């Protein structure tokens, strides 16, 4: 069964993350956690690609892409 | 660079990450400016971003357009010069609350009075962040700041009313939490032929938040979520607006634009010379 989220991937740039916790607070599925003052995509399988983290991240450190790319960090 | 496509397209990625503190609302608001420009499909070479001095005024340094970082409070004066020299440009001014309403207060009201086609975006964090947390003209009464250890006795400016009273033709307010509304207001401001004033309520967890026990960045976002009401809702149910911060589009009323009026004078003069 395919759905519209099949190709989407949640990516992050840990170098830019300042660990403010805004994305963690707004994530509705608790996909993200804070570890050692950085945001970590701890449970990528839970992500519903709502885009709240990307919308609210002040540092452009987390984003959703339409797939094909691997997380480099 | 490891970042999203829109970041790669519109930011000077080699200068990121930015200087702002963790959780600062300015980054979120800067992103709304970028998204608005992207949505309208403006050519990067036709956009000029001008700023003064302060935390918010660091923004143009990271944005990949024609940018100008000017003196404290004078961003609108420089922007007026740019617009007069080349009226085809989309001129955006990013200022802070102190920049726009304290030292630059006169520039703000006179740019608004002239109705020159500049989109002014104020990142209002209620405090002077860069210099260590002094109270600004928008710090609410009784709130604390480094220079108001027993509470602020001043009454804050309502920047939107100030701009509207001075003659701005598009006025709106949103917050860092209400990022989609902020983006929409900036889009409308950029399309408005005249002086557009958009106040973006930002959050300063480092100084304003800590001095006033507002919690972390997420708590401050939640405060905006719970305490802001759209003007449209209040117009239908006035009781919902009690003790709340009003957001939304406040005013949109076209008037003759300054550079166009100036062009009329130039044309008249040329005609006289020909005779």
Residue B232 has pLDDT above 50, yes or no: yes
Number of domains in chain A: 1
A51 in a structural domain: yes
In a 3-state reduction of DSSP, which class is residue A32? strand
Cβ pair B218:A58 closer than 8 A: no
- Asked if the structure places residue A8 within a domain, the reply is no
In a domain, A2, yes or no: no
Task: Please tell me the distance from the alpha carbon of residue B228 to that of residue B124, in angstroms, as a whole number.
Answer: 15
- The token duo for A31 is 């996909």
Tokens 């557009």 found at = B196
Count of the separate structural domains present in chain B: 1
Q: Is residue A9 part of a domain?
A: no
Reply yes or no: is the peptide bond before residue B48 cis, omega within 30 of 0: no
Tell me the average pLDDT across B120-145. 94
Q: Tell me, yes or no, whether A13 lies in a domain.
A: no
B216/A21 CB distance under 8 A = yes
Question: Per residue in B158-169, pLDDT tens?
Answer: 999 999 999 999
CATH number of the domain encompassing residue A38:
3.30.70.20
Averaged pLDDT, A36-52: 91
Q: Which two tokens stand for residue A50?
A: 């709502």
Residue A22: list chain B partners with CB under 8 A.
23, 217-218, 221
Domain that holds residue A40: 18-65
Asked if this assembly's ipTM is beyond 0.85, the reply is yes
Does the pLDDT value for residue B274 go beyond 90? no
Q: What is the mean pLDDT of residues A43-52?
A: 91
Residues of B with CB under 8 A from a CB of A: 2-5, 7, 11, 16-18, 20-28, 31, 177, 179-180, 205, 216-218, 221-222
Band of residue B273 on the pLDDT scale cut at 50, 70, 90: confident
Strand B127-128 with B47-51, pairing: unpaired
Kindly state whether residue A49 falls inside one of the protein's structural domains: yes
pLDDT tens figures, A12-27 = 999 999 999 999 999 9
Res. B1 pLDDT band, cuts 50 70 90:
confident
Residue A67's pLDDT is 66
> CA B203: distance to chain centroid?
14
Mean pLDDT throughout B170-183?
Answer: 95
Report the half-sphere exposure of A28 (CA within 13 A, side-chain side): 5
Whole-number pLDDT of residue B197: 96
Mean per-residue pLDDT, B20-40: 95
Task: Work out how many CB contacts closer than 8 A connect A with B.
Answer: 73
Eight-class DSSP state of B101: I
Residue A38 belongs to some domain of the structure:
yes
pLDDT per residue as tens digits for the range B202-212: 999 999 999 99
Here the CATH number for the domain that contains residue B135 is 3.40.50.970
Query: What integer best gives the mean pLDDT of chain B?
Result: 94
At residue A73, does pLDDT exceed 60? no
- Please, which residues 40-59 of chain A have a Cβ atom closer than 8 Å to chain B? 54-59
Question: Is A3 a member of any domain?
Answer: no
Residue B109: what pLDDT? 95
Min Cα–Cα distance to chain B from A64, Å:
8
């Amino acid at each position: 069964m395919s759905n519209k989220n099949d190709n989407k991937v949640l990516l992050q740039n840990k170098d830019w993350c300042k660990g403010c916790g805004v994305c963690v607070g707004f994530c509705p599925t608790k996909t993200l956690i804070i570890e050692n003052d950085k945001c970590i995509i701890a449970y990528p399988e839970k992500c519903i690609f709502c885009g709240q983290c990307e919308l609210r991240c002040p540092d452009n450190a987390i984003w959703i892409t339409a797939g094909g790319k691997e997380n480099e960090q | 660079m490891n970042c999203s496509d829109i970041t790669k397209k519109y930011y000077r990625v080699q200068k990121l990450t930015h200087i702002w503190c963790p959780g600062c609302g300015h980054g979120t608001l800067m992103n709304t400016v970028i998204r608005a420009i992207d949505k309208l499909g403006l050519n990067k070479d036709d956009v000029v971003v001008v700023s003064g001095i302060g935390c918010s005024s660091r923004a143009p340094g990271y944005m990949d357009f024609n940018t100008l970082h000017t003196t404290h409070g004078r961003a609108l004066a420089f922007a007026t010069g740019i617009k007069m020299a080349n009226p085809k440009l989309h001129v955006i001014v990013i200022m802070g609350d102190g920049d726009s309403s304290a030292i630059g207060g006169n520039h703000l009201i006179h740019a608004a009075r002239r109705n020159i086609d500049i989109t002014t975006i104020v990142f209002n964090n209620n405090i002077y962040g860069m210099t260590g947390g002094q109270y600004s003209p928008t710090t609410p009464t009784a709130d604390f700041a480094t220079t108001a250890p027993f509470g602020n006795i001043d009454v804050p400016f309502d920047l939107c009313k100030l701009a509207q009273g001075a003659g701005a033709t598009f006025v709106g307010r949103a917050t860092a939490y209400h990022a989609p509304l902020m983006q929409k207001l900036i889009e409308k401001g950029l399309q408005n032929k005249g002086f557009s004033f958009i106040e973006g309520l930002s959050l300063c967890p480092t100084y304003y938040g800590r001095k006033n026990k507002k919690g972390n960045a997420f708590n401050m976002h939640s405060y905006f979520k719970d305490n802001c009401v759209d003007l449209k809702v209040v117009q239908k149910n006035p009781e919902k607006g009690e003790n709340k911060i009003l957001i939304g589009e406040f005013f949109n009323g076209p008037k003759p634009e300054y550079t166009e009026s100036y062009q009329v004078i130039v044309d008249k003069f040329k005609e006289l010379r020909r005779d």
